[in-house]
Amino acid sequence: MITAGVDSGTKNTKAALLEDGKKVLATSGVRTGFDFAKSASEAYDQALAHAGLGKGEVAYLTATGFGRYRIPFRDVSVTDITANAKGARLLCPKTTCVLDVGAGNARASRVDEGGKIVNFKSTEKCAAGGGGFLEKIAFYTSIELKDLGDVALRSANPVVMSTVCSVLAESEVINLVTQEVPMEDILMGAHSSVAGRVVLTLKQVGVQPEVTLTGGLVMNAAFVRALEEKLKMGVNSSRELYYAGALGAALLGYRRLMKKSSANGVA
Amino acid sequence: MTGAYFAGVDAGSTYTKAVLLDSDSKPVTTAIDMTGINIVSAIDKVYHAMLAKAGVNEREVGYVVGTGYGRYKVTFGNSQVTEISCHAKGAYTLFPKTRTVLDMGGQDTKAIRINGRGEVVDFSMNDKCAAGTGRFIEGSARALGLTLAEVGDISMRSTKPIKISATCAVFAEMETQEQLAWGNKLEDILYGVHVSIASRSIGLLRRVGIEQEVTFTGGVSLNRGMVKCVEEQLGSKVNTNPMTMFCGAMGAAEFAREKAMVAAREVARP
Amino acid sequence: MQGSLASRFEEASTDSYTTFGLVSKWKQETKGKAVGYFPVYFPEELADSMGILPVSLQGASGGVSLDMATAHTQSFVCSISRSVFQMALQGNLEVFDGLIFSNICDVARNLSGITKRNMAKYVDYIHFPVNNSSSHAAAYLRDEYLRIGEGLANVAGTRLDAEKLRASISLHNEKRRLLRRLAALRRERPEIIPYAEWYSVIRASAVMPASEYASALASYLDEASARTSKSMDKIRVAVIGNFCEQIPVMLMKVIEDAGCYVVNDEALIGNRWLQDVRTEGDDPVLSLAEAYIGNREPLTVRFHPEVDKQEHIEAFVKSLRADGVIFCTPKFCEPALYDYMIYKAPLEKRKTPYLHLEYEESSSSFEHVRTMAETFAESILFD
Amino acid sequence: MPQPAAKLTFKDLDRAKYMQGGMIKEYFDSLTNSRANGTKVAYAFVMANPIELLKSFDFLPLYPEITSLNISYRGGAPPLITLAEEAGYSTDACGYVKMGVAATMPGASTTIGNVPGPDLLLLSYSGCQIYIHWWEQFHYQAGVPIVLLDIPYVRDFEGRVPRHDIRYVTGQLEEVIARLEKASGKRFDENRLKETVRLSAEAWDLWRQCLEMGKLRPTPFDAYFESIYYMAPITFARGSQKCVDFYRFLLEELKSRAEHGVGPTAEERYRLVFEGVPNYPFFKKFWGLFAQHNARSVASTYPKVAGLVDTGAFRLNPDKPLESLAEYMIHAYCNWNMPLRTNLIEKYVRDYKADAVILHSIKSCRSFSMGEGDMREYLAVEKGIPTLLVESDHVDPRYYSEAQMKNRVDAFFETLDLRMGAK
Ligand SMILES: Nc1ncnc2c1ncn2[C@@H]1O[C@H](COP(=O)(O)OP(=O)(O)O)[C@@H](O)[C@H]1O
Ligand SMILES: Nc1ncnc2c1ncn2[C@@H]1O[C@H](COP(=O)(O)OP(=O)(O)O)[C@@H](O)[C@H]1O
Ligand code: SF4
Ligand code: SF4
Ligand code: SF4
């Protein structure tokens, strides 16, 4: 049985197709525009095309993410925290802590052996810690987003950035550039500062290995390194985990269908 | 005295602005560019672009005053003055009846009260938080894919503003998206954004005490929607014109002119 | 007819955001006086017995712009203190003949002084004892009540009268009894009253004249008990932390829609947390003071040296049969933030799920909290 | 008349600062050794604590506020704040509380050595409500008993204190004595208390005389930045001969400074009154922003948190130790309502002939800061006194931005210059 998950984020919309709650058939991502529904169906169509499947072959579609209520073709919706936790466990079964870091903010959750969320927390509203800040820095420094992390990784003496406010952090970055601090040190400092906020949130829910990172920042090696240094432990961060939310949604859909059919007596 | 011209350079968090005055305090020309990551080169570029536009040689400039966040980066400047004094001076030069100045820039909002000679009597700024500044509008504009010039005008079409409580620039994008997702009209959301920011800056103005006339300066004074909101909440007109964005640089240039005069008098004295 | 009573409470409740039209109407009709008091507690009987209507100032719920308050207060203080101050400055509180503050937190303490400085009106402040185990506390509070009583008597142009006070105490005992009935109904059958409606019923208790409120509440309880709504598969939660600044009504809806029955919260807790006050004895002011001192219900802003807050929270959750606790703390409210630390420890030990949300009375953006609340419900309902 | 041998400089006349440094070090050492030598440690607050009572039962008082202050002065605050925030304390909570609870958490390392845990928590609830919440944190963390003294707020706008307040506090002091007897296993010795109170009274009087040296023009010392050092002994060591000796020395030193015309800045261009808790992580830099303009503080409210010594509001009296202590505790600076505090500042401007007022508002402390905006409004707008309000924090470096602060201070002096020139 094939189920689908669509994760409608503020920046990117991701879709995934899953077979029998186990096998990943396809994933895809597009930029979220103004029309959540349109971006969602684009991402979904792309995933279907990758897998060479038609809409009719998908038994159930679960929506998640910021725009979950704006996807008219969903069967059900769940929150991105639940979906990411499920997705992380699907890809890394020993996961205890899940960190989902997207563009806007970061969410940390801790799950028990059964995969049930026992505690979760999101970064505080004031002091946003997320990928959006890094995007802005990329914009300012005219470095491509995908190269940002690599430049930062060359740093030997990352600067310490103390501001809580990301608006003012931007001007701190500008100040540092003016003081001719090497670009890589500034960038690594910026990555560390986001990682610091994320780790703070994770510590509030309680850190236990294994920690799995999901969301857009798995694409950023410098962020992963900053995170590992701050946590003093390794973090699962394979690229597939970018789609954890969509995959988790698909998995939850699968479970729900199974429950329904067993309730109906159909095995 | 070497030069017949006087320059002010305002290196702000968002834009770097420069103004050239002649010896009668008349603006000769202005120049502006994004400050961006390299403030020193932005300053250099803007200053030289201005001179080129005016066809004035660097040696003809008698005195340069730097202001704004990057005032110490105006390496060729003769002295620095904070942008509070400069905005006051600039507003007074542009509108001599000014007694209260509201300056809204990229990450700072300032309220300044001045006396009949254009001197600062009292001032107040937003606290160490960029909530409620021009950056919020930039964020909303970005979320909506609009230019800065458009947002204000669109907001003016609103008949029924949506209440926006957050004025934190970091959450501007998210809140704007959220309101859109709930099917609210673009102009109503934008108007709500303007209302909420205007009310914060009126609070700052009240701190220093509002005396007529009020002059609105800084980049946000170009935003007609914001001008309207401020006027509505104040219950009176405010002065703005295309030069008010350059007010800080204008004030700096005026300071440059005055300082050069004083220096010249001292030299002239045997 | 269902709902007409509810809408009466809703009207009284929303009227107390910014307009206070019902207060002026009452003053006109009775030629009485009115005082406004800042949360969380005020000995209403004292005012009531002198023909003064005591009204709780619960903030403007986002109904005013804060421009004047911004001129006098920094941005890192809570919204209720700023909106009440704004209302004082811009004239919404003109209908009151006096304002009374008390020692619930540093913000409220200093607010009393700056309000006084900006307002030509009777402004006073009650220091409620926190050393409730001291043998001197009751006598102290009695004297403090007498001092306030004098101020109120000046406002009303009358004198404190023991007989009238006793009568008012009886009336308020009745009101408290009804409020306890409401709480029991909420605990047993949360499905029959929407959260926001329940809230407005409670908020009205701090605005409407006591006798009018008591009779309205009695009828409401009969009407609501007769309702037959289907109980849904939702989790039962207690909301903690909103004892002073009020949760936006929209946020209540978000929490409820996310799959939670809120079976108890702390909104206006100071107005409903007292047990009955003795009516016998010859010093009713002392009785009033003793009821306060003797009360052992914990309240974040009412320290009691002999009450164990951690034991309390466990017993509280159990008595409510709550599946979890949602801490809803006002932004910048330090008392709530510290109690959160005290309360969460035993919850963690007992594996009682909890969630922490922050709000401001003027919040207009709820997507973030919706996701949190939904996840919370999902994490309890599903595995 | 003998001539001074050589011209004394500021450096020669800056000894008191080092003396108090030595006293602090000695005090911290005694705390570190308290466990080993079996001394009982009572946690107490700076504002309005009856240290004299504790001393007469041989309790060693520990002030977490002073511990936090010292740690942040040395730049050690961030790791402790992070530790507390990781445990769940909010960024909006008072930094002192966060540092205080974190300093006793496992895994904490502080820059001032080991901080012993409390045997007793003396809660003088005066001036700051957070005191209650803070002690509750310790109480639930470690199960230590709280001994409470509930001090009513000075709520009358003329500053009058009702009789029942004094009765209530004095009555509680008697109850506290009984509890301290139990906790220490020692009997109360009234004569000892009287002697301690006498020594305190003497130190208070000398300290008042020091503070009033600010009335001289030029002032021989900076009544805000230097007072931070000078106020330490009166806070933690009063009731001892050493403390009396320190203030006697300080008074002499300040007098010689006046005589030799030396002070903390090259000259005295501006006379300022300061209000608010200083910014400890950037203390010297912050001071520099003013010193660079040759501005000196002539009077300030912060050094009065240990006691409003120069207002006549209290006077310790060995013959009436409990009652006079009660009055002392009621008149804590933050226990005064805002109009009283504002009037005091205005009076300082008059009495000390100051040019301007600086309000340093800190985010952590609503007790101090809530209402400073209104103070500014009153002083600047209603009274026309040049007043600058700046915001940062006393321990959390995240709330201090150098560029922004400098901008505001520089601009303020630019305008002050114009106004003073116009005069
Ligand atoms: N190729 C990439 N390289 C580096 N960083 C990336 C890349 N793609 C996305 N990101 C980071 O991920 C963030 C977006 O994450 P995502 O999870 O898609 O956001 P959301 O779910 O909130 O829409 C961006 O802000 C950016 O920092
Ligand atoms: N053409 C425009 N129309 C409307 N608003 C503008 C325009 N240009 C700039 N702004 C506003 O001005 C702000 C920048 O103002 P500015 O005074 O230059 O700031 P700073 O001095 O901090 O660099 C921007 O955040 C934006 O909101
Ligand atoms: S602007 Fe910065 S400091 Fe202010 S609320 Fe937003 S993130 Fe926080
Ligand atoms: S909301 Fe909290 S901080 Fe604000 S007045 Fe109430 S108790 Fe005090
Ligand atoms: S709130 Fe202020 S007075 Fe209270 S502990 Fe914190 S810093 Fe001290």
Q: Which tens digit of pLDDT belongs to each residue from B122-141?
A: 898 877 676 777 888 887 78
- Shortest-distance Cα residue to atom 2 of ligand 3: A165
pLDDT, position C373: 93
Write the pLDDT tens digit of every residue in D187-216: 999 999 999 999 999 999 999 999 999 999
Q: What is the pLDDT of residue D6?
A: 66
- Provide the number of structural domains found in chain C: 1
Residue A267 has pLDDT above 50, yes or no: no
CA distances to C175, C177, C187 from C184, rounded to whole Å, are 14, 11, 5
Tokens of D94: 């008072």
Query: What's the first-to-final CA gap in chain D, in angstroms?
Result: 41
B-chain CB neighbours of D380 within 8 Å are 122, 208
Mean pLDDT of A122-132: 72
Cα of C246 from ligand 4 centre, angstroms: 10
Beta bridge partners of D362: D392
SS3 D208: helix
> What confidence tens digit (pLDDT) does each residue in D91-110 have?
889 999 999 999 888 777 76
Query: B86-95, C136-145, C326-335, D34-43: which range is least confident on average?
Result: D34-43
| CATH class of the region B97-238 | alpha beta
Q: Cα angle at C325 between C379 and C236, to 5 degrees? A: 70
Q: List, in sequence order, every beta strand (DSSP E) within D33-132.
A: 41-43, 60-62, 120-125
Element (H, E) at D150: strand D146-150
The position carrying tokens 């597009």 is A30
Q: Collect all residues with Cβ–Cβ distance below 8 Å to B25 and sequence separation of at least 6.
A: B93, B254, B257
Q: Whose CA is nearest to atom 1 of ligand 2?
A: B149
Q: Do D380 and B123 touch (CB under 8 A)?
A: no
* pLDDT attached to residue A266: 47
Residues A138 and A203 in one domain: yes
Q: What CA–CA distance (Å, rounded) separates B43 from B66?
A: 10
The answer on pLDDT for D1 being more than 60 is: no
Angle at CA of residue A131, ends B146 and A23, nearest 5°? 110
Read off the pLDDT of each residue in D76-105 and give the average, rounded to a whole number.
91
Residue type, C119: M
- The C-alpha atoms of residue D77 and residue D400 are separated, in whole angstroms, by 13
For residue D159, pLDDT beyond 60: yes
Look up the ipTM and state it.
Answer: 0.89
User: Would you call D93 and C338 a contact, using CB atoms and an 8 Å cutoff?
Assistant: yes
- C-alpha atoms less than 13 angstroms from C-alpha of A206 in its C-beta half-sphere: 11
Lookup: tokens for D101: 């609870």
Where helices occur in D152-273 by DSSP H, the ranges are: 163-184, 190-212, 227-236, 241-260
- How is chain D split into domains, by residue range? 24-421
Its domain, for residue A228, covers: 94-235
Interface test with C, best of D144, D360, D366 (most C CBs within 10 A): D366
Structure tokens at C241: 């932390």
Report yes or no on C186 lying in a domain. Answer: no
- Residue B182 makes CB contacts below 8 A (sequence gap 6+) with none
Cα–ligand 5 centroid distance for D47 (angstroms): 10
> Nearest Cβ partner of C109 from D137, D148, D153?
D153
B269 pLDDT band, cuts 50/70/90, is low
CB contact (8 A) between residue C75 and residue B163: no
Closest ligand 4 atom, residue C38 Cα? 5
Contact B152, B225 (CB under 8 A): yes
Give the contacts of A207 (CB within 8 A, at least 6 positions apart).
Answer: A97, A231, A233
Contacts of C367 in chain A (CB under 8 A): 66
CA quadruple D79, D82, D84, D90: dihedral positive or negative?
positive
Which residues of C lie closer than 8 Å to B, measured between beta carbons? 62, 65-71, 74-76, 360, 362-365, 367-368
* Strands laid side by side in the A58-64 sheet: A23-31, A12-19, A2-8, A58-64, A76-77
- Distance between alpha carbon B228 and the CA centroid of its chain, in Å? 17
CA C330 to ligand 4 centroid distance, Å:
8
Contact B15, B220 (CB under 8 A): no
Are the beta carbons of A97 and A210 closer than 8 angstroms? yes
Give one DSSP letter per residue of C83-132, joined into a string. Answer: HHHHHHHHTTTTT-SEEEEESSSHHHHHHHHHHHHH--SEEEEE---S-T
The Cα D51–Cα D196 span in angstroms is 9
Q: How buried is residue D1: exposed, middle or buried, by Cβ count under 10 Å (0-12/13-18/19+)?
A: exposed
Check if B177 contacts A (Cβ < 8 Å). Answer: yes
> D275: closest CA among D298, D302, D303?
D302
pLDDT of the residue at C166: 96
Between D335 and D407, the more confident residue is D335
The CA-based angle C333-C338-C344, given to 5 degrees, is 120
The candidate with the shortest Cα–Cα distance to D155, out of C109, C128, C42, C114, is: C109
Ligand 4 pocket, C40 CB below 6 A? Answer: no
* Res. C242: pLDDT tops 90: yes
Q: Residues 109..128 of C with a Cβ closer than 8 Å to D: which?
A: 109-114, 116-118, 123-125, 127
Q: How many domains does chain A have?
A: 2
What is the C-alpha separation between D97 and D117, in angstroms, rounded? 15
Pocket test for ligand 3, best of B109, B129, B136, B167 (most atoms within 8 A of CB): B129
Token pair listed for A122: 């999101």
- The answer to whether the Cβ–Cβ distance between B38 and A67 falls below 8 Å is no
Q: Where in chain B is the domain with CATH 3.30.420.40?
A: 5-87+246-268, 97-238
- CATH code of the domain made up of D24-421: 3.40.50.11900
User: Best interface-test mutation with A: which of D80, D81, D86, D400 has the largest number of A CBs within 10 A?
Assistant: D86
Among left, alpha and beta (phi > 0; psi -120 to 50; other), residue C359 is beta
Does residue C176 sit within a domain?
A: no
CATH number at residue C123: 3.40.50.11890
Tokens of B23: 């010896």
- Rounded mean pLDDT of D320-342? 96
Q: Is residue C264 part of a domain?
A: no
| Distances in whole angstroms, Cα of residue D218 to Cα of each of C48, D230, D262, D295 | 59, 19, 9, 11
- Say if CB D270 and CB D355 are below 8 A apart: yes
* Separation of CA C41 and ligand 4 centre (Å): 13
Q: What is the pLDDT of residue C80?
A: 96
Q: Which of D69, D89, D130, D151 maximizes ligand 5 atoms within 8 Å of its Cβ, making it the mutation to test the pocket?
A: D130
Q: Which two tokens stand for residue D264?
A: 């903390």
Within this chain, do residues A64 and A166 fall inside the same structural domain, yes or no? no
Averaged over C125-148, what is the pLDDT? Answer: 96
Which of A177-181, C61-65, D29-33, D224-228 shows the lowest mean pLDDT across its residues? Answer: A177-181
B96 versus D114: which is more confidently predicted? Answer: B96
Give residues with Cβ within 8 angstroms of A233, minimum separation 6. A207, A209, A211
User: Which tokens go with D104?
Assistant: 């006793």
Cα-to-centroid distance, B140 and ligand 3 (Å): 15
What angle, rounded to 10 degrees, do the helices at A183-205 and A221-231 form? 50
Chain B touched by D292 (CB under 8 Å) = no
Inter-CA distances, B225 with B21, B102, B153, B166, B191, Å: 30, 15, 6, 18, 8
Residues of chain B with pLDDT > 70: what percent?
Answer: 95
For residue D390, what is the nearest residue in chain B, using CA coordinates?
B127
* Token digits of residue C371: 């996701």
Q: Which ligand is nearest to the CA of D361?
A: 5
The CA-CA-CA angle for residues C102, C61, C128, to 5°, reads 10
- Asked if C266 and C78 touch (Cβ cutoff 8 Å), the reply is no
pLDDT in tens, C343-380: 999 999 999 999 999 999 988 888 888 889 999 998 88
Which chain B residues have a beta carbon less than 8 Å from that of D386? Answer: 122
Ligand 1, residues at Cβ distance < 6 Å: A 9-12, 102-104, 131-132, 134-135, 145-146, 149, 215-217, 219-220
| C6 falls within a domain | no
Q: How far is CA A214 from CA A70, A99, A200, A239, D153, in A?
A: 23, 6, 17, 9, 52
Q: Give the pLDDT score at D125.
A: 94
Arithmetic mean of pLDDT, A165-190: 82
| Nearest in space to A1 (alpha carbons), one of A254, A246, A260 | A254
Indicate if the pLDDT at residue D5 is higher than 70: no
Rounded Cα distance between B245 and B221, Å, is 6
The answer to whether D405 and D289 are in contact (CB under 8 A) is yes
- What is the C-alpha separation between D166 and D322, in angstroms, rounded? 10
- How far apart CA D391 and CA A107 sit, in angstroms, is 31
Residue B1 has pLDDT above 50, yes or no: no
Please tell me the predicted confidence (pLDDT) of residue A127.
59
Question: CB distance A126–B129 less than 8 Å?
Answer: yes
Q: How confident is the model at residue A173 (pLDDT cuts 50, 70, 90)?
A: confident
DSSP SS3 for B101? strand
Q: Which of C325, C332, C371 to mutate to test the interface with A (most CBs of A within 10 A)?
A: C371
Per residue in B127-178, pLDDT (tens digit) is 767 677 788 888 778 777 888 888 889 889 888 888 877 667 667 777 777 7
Of D47, D65, D126, the residue with max ligand 5 atoms within 8 A of its CB, to mutate for a pocket test, comes to D65
Ligand 2 pocket, residue B161 CB under 6 Å: no
Cβ separation of C378 and A66 shorter than 8 Å? Answer: no
Residue at token pair 């103070």: D375
Select from B13, B73, B177 the Cβ nearest to the Cβ of A171: B13
pLDDT score recorded for residue B178 = 78
Q: Does C327 fall in a domain?
A: no
Q: Inspect the interface and report whether the beta carbons of D164 and C77 lie closer than 8 Å.
A: no
CA geometry: angle D244, D248, D251, nearest 5 deg: 140
Backbone angles phi, psi at B197, to 5 degrees: -70, -40
Mean pLDDT over all residues of chain C?
A: 93
pLDDT class of D112 with cuts at 50, 70, 90: low
Contact B251, B17 (CB under 8 A): no
CA–CA separation, A169 vs A167, rounded Å? 5
Q: What is the pLDDT of residues A18-60, one digit of tens each?
A: 999 999 999 999 998 878 899 999 999 999 999 999 999 999 9
Find the angle CA(D219)-CA(D223)-CA(D228) to the nearest 5 degrees. Answer: 145
Interchain CB distance below 8 Å, B130 and A104: no
Kindly report the CATH number assigned to the domain that includes residue A193: 3.30.420.40
Q: What pLDDT does residue C152 have?
A: 97
Tell me if chain A has a CB within 8 Å of the CB of D397. Answer: yes
What would the pLDDT profile of C301-354 be if each residue is shown by its tens digit? 888 888 999 999 999 999 999 999 999 999 999 999 999 999 999 999 999 999
Can you give the residue range of the structural domain that contains C149? 23-159
How many whole angstroms separate alpha carbon D69 and alpha carbon D60?
19
Residues D249 and D19 sit within 8 Å (Cβ to Cβ):
yes
Residue D281: list chain A partners with CB under 8 A: none
Q: Does domain B5-87+246-268 have CATH number 3.30.420.40?
A: yes
Which of B133, B170, B175 for mutating ligand 3's site (highest number of atoms within 8 Å of CB)? Answer: B170
Per-residue pLDDT band at D304 (split at 50, 70, 90): very high
Reply yes or no on whether the pLDDT at C165 is more than 70.
yes
Residues of D within 8 A of B85 (CB-CB) are 411, 414-415
- β-strand partners of C101: C125
Confidence (pLDDT) at C1: 40
